[in-house]
Amino acid sequence: MKLLYVDCCITVHETSRTKLLADTFLSAWQKAHAGDEIEYLDAKALDLRPLMGEALVQREELLGSRRTGEPSFALARQFAQADRIVIAAPFWELSFPAQLRLYIEHISALNITFGYAQDGAPLGLCRAEKMLYL
């Protein structure tokens, strides 16, 4: 089983309470599921830009021609292929970090992480049955 850990523990404080909570959870997970693979993604280090203008046009063209194997969809494929997902990010001011919002924007990709049924109902295409937000 593959657990995807998305670290978006952004803080200006010396110690991130969210990071401490995530480290505790991951340690317990590793003890309980010794054979599982944990794939670490440092969302803070990603150079993500809002999808607008030419970037959005290019993305829509790739999706329209079903070229989902392109490098620009690597994060979406990684997310869709995980068996379990843990996202660690602070929740302050009734919101979460902008970097997490950008990550979600980039992984939301038609025919990778979601699709539509013939009646127009949205369908989740991710393999993970569970996601935990810490």
pLDDT at 12 over 80: no
The interaxial angle of helices 74-81 and 98-107, nearest 10 deg, is 80
* Mean pLDDT value across residues 1-11: 94
Identify the pLDDT of residue 41.
98
Q: How far apart are CA 5 and CA 71, in angstroms?
A: 20
Sequence-distant (≥ 6) Cβ neighbours of residue 60 within 8 angstroms: none
Which single residue is written with the structure tokens 């969809």?
Answer: 73
Query: Which residue type sits at 125?
Result: L
Distances (CA, A) of 121 to 63, 112, 118: 19, 16, 7
Q: What is the pTM of this model?
A: 0.91
User: Mean pLDDT, the chain, as a whole number?
Assistant: 94
Identify the pLDDT of residue 15.
83
Q: How far apart are CA 87 and CA 42, in angstroms?
A: 10
